[in-house]
Amino acid sequence: MNILKKTVLAGIGLMAIQPLLSDEALVKEILPSKTESAWLSIDWKTDLWSAREEAARSGKPIYLWEMDGHPLGCV
Amino acid sequence: MADRLLVFANPEVQKLLKEEFVAVAADDWYQRRRKDETGKFFWKVASQGPRNPNATQQGHYVFTAKGKLLGFNNNRGPERRLAMMNDALKKWRALPDSEKKVKIPAKGKSDGRYHHELPGGGQIVKVYTRCLEEREGRLQKLAEDKVGNQAAVDHLWFQKSEVEELGKLIADGGGEIPEWLALRMARFHLRDNTRGEPRDWKKEEIKKWSLKVDAKGRMSGDFLIDSPDGKLGYQGKIEGKLAVEKDRLSKFELLIVGKHWGSGTYTGGARPGRTPIGHVFRLTDGKKESDQIPPQGIRWADGYWDPRR
């Protein structure tokens, strides 16, 4: 993503000059890191009823992570 | 959000969850309100826990497919969570087989007020948000020890007809993006959700907005959002690229950088003053369940789909 020139940053008073920062570097700063994304290696289901059906099929208990604001989204 | 790093990135927790449980995550705001079979089942479980039934039911539950609660806690940190999970597993193993493999009735019709699915032919853009700070002459994520240093994620939804409209706009030489997209982005997605649930912006708080796309799909613009008392706001610049092929988004990439100020009811702890924040928007194919989470702003569905209201 070849975007956000240094003039743009300067325009909103963020930085005067940013000659060495490629756009990809800033995008990388914003995106979740590998460590931050580790929790997504768990096969989270998003529908309680589907989880219930799978639990019944597989003979496993259900682990429910319940939050105000979806735990896999929003925040 | 702390659970993601503190608990669910823990190898022991991950191993246990992957091997011994069916893991599911849900938004309590919807789940505790929905009046359908899913909602009834949830309340069957939650009512066995310690929560006040008139308040949030958030927490971590372990239960059987029949709805028998085996464990609950709402503590952060892997040790206590592992203790709860292992204790629940002991109870599970002591149950007769008839309690474990059961026939589940049909789900029935979902309560549309509290259950949202991407409309047929719709598309999803992931929206990542990160608080930034200037260090070593460039913008970087906050230092590890600072509150709100993790990236937050939300999802921007498009309907099929909306994508077609964007494609036509580019084909016609470009111009200002449609008001519905401008307001959807501004009101529901340009928010600081790094410390909790932010409120939606009101239409009249969008003081300035311009986002144009040209004939090659290049987007650029800027915006100013400000609350009436000036205590909560966001000013920034937008640059990106949009492409539509055969009436489908093939690219939707945005980088937004600006300064945000103020805290909301559920987003306390903002840094003082106007501080840097960034968003990255990226198209996803939506195949993973975690990519299908409804936008936070769609709790007000009519407003999300028509933010000019």
Q: In chain A, what residues touch B63 (CB-CB under 8 Å)?
A: 61-62, 64
Per-residue model confidence as pLDDT tens digits over B54-88: 999 999 999 999 999 999 999 878 999 999 999 99
Average pLDDT, chain A: 78
The radius of gyration computed from the CA coordinates of chain A, to the nearest angstrom, equals 21
Q: Does one domain contain both B90 and B179?
A: no
What 8-state DSSP symbol labels residue B106?
P
What 8-state DSSP symbol labels residue B273?
S
**Distance (Å) from the C-alpha of residue A10 to the closest C-alpha of chain B?**
10
Q: Does one domain contain both B237 and B129?
A: yes
Residue B107 lies in a domain: no
Spatial contact of A16 and A6, defined as CB atoms under 8 Å apart: no
Residue B70 lies in a domain: yes
Of the candidates B41, B103, B138, which has its C-beta nearest A21's C-beta? B138
* Dihedral Cα B151, B18, B74, B189, nearest 10 deg: 30
Count: domains in chain B: 2
Q: Does one domain contain both B92 and B217?
A: no
Q: For strands B22-27 and B59-63, give the pairing.
A: unpaired
d(CA B166, CA A63): 41
DSSP per-residue codes, A11-71: HTTS-S--TT--HHHHHHHHSPPTTTTGGGGS--BS-HHHHHHHHHHHT--EEEEEESS-T
Element of type H or E holding B166: helix B160-171
d(CA A35, CA B10): 10
pLDDT at residue A13, as a whole number: 58
Residue B156 lies in a domain: yes
Q: Does one domain contain both B12 and B156?
A: no
Q: Residue A67's closest chain B neighbor by CA?
A: B58
Q: Does one domain contain both B230 and B88?
A: no
Element of type H or E holding B174: strand B174-176
Locate the DSSP E strands across chain B: 22-27, 59-63, 69-73, 123-135, 138-141, 152-158, 174-176, 206-214, 218-226, 233-245, 248-261, 275-284
Q: For strands B22-27 and A62-67, give the pairing.
A: parallel
Residue B157 lies in a domain: yes
What 8-state DSSP symbol labels residue B66?
T
Q: Which domain holds residue B276?
A: 123-305
pLDDT at residue A2, as a whole number: 45
Q: Has residue A7 got a pLDDT over 80? A: no
pLDDT band at A21 (very low <50, low <70, confident <90, very high): very low
Spatial contact of B133 and B275, defined as CB atoms under 8 Å apart: yes
Chain B contacts in chain A segment 4-63 (CB below 8 A) = 4-5, 8-9, 11-15, 18, 20-21, 23, 25-27, 29-33, 35-36, 38-63
b/e map A25-45, b = 16+ CB within 10 Å: ebbebbbbeeebebbbebebb
pLDDT at residue B272, as a whole number: 93
Q: Has residue A15 got a pLDDT over 80? A: no
pTM, two decimals, is: 0.89
Residue B230 lies in a domain: yes
Spatial contact of B47 and B117, defined as CB atoms under 8 Å apart: no
Task: Answer yes or no: do B22 and A58 touch at CB < 8 A.
Answer: yes
Q: What is the number of residues in chain B?
A: 309
Per-residue model confidence as pLDDT tens digits over A26-57: 999 999 999 888 888 999 999 999 999 999 99
Domain boundary among B68, B100, B132: B100
**Distance (Å) from the C-alpha of residue A67 to the closest C-alpha of chain B?**
5
d(CA A39, CA A42): 6
Residue B192 lies in a domain: yes
Task: Answer yes or no: do B138 and A51 touch at CB < 8 A.
Answer: no
pLDDT: which is higher, A75 or B255: B255
Q: How many Å from the N-terminal Cα to the C-terminal Cα in chain A?
A: 25
Q: In chain A, what residues touch B3 (CB-CB under 8 Å)?
A: 39, 65, 71
Q: Which residues of chain B have pLDDT under 70?
A: 1
Spatial contact of B242 and B250, defined as CB atoms under 8 Å apart: no
Residue B171 lies in a domain: yes
Residue B276 lies in a domain: yes
Q: Residue A16's closest chain B neighbor by CA?
A: B137
Q: Does one domain contain both B90 and B138?
A: no
CA-based nearest residue to B309, from B231, B200, B164: B200
Q: Does one domain contain both B139 and B257?
A: yes
Q: In chain A, what residues touch B134 (CB-CB under 8 Å)?
A: 14-15
Q: Quick one: how far is CA B91 from the chain centroid?
A: 34
pLDDT at residue B149, as a whole number: 86
Query: A48 is written with which tokens?
Result: 């309680």
pLDDT at residue A17, as a whole number: 34
Number of A to B CB contacts under 8 A, please give it.
Answer: 271
Task: Answer yes or no: do B59 and A66 touch at CB < 8 A.
Answer: yes
Query: B170 is written with which tokens?
Result: 């580019």
Average pLDDT, chain B: 94
pLDDT band at A75 (very low <50, low <70, confident <90, very high): low
Q: Has residue A3 got a pLDDT over 90? A: no
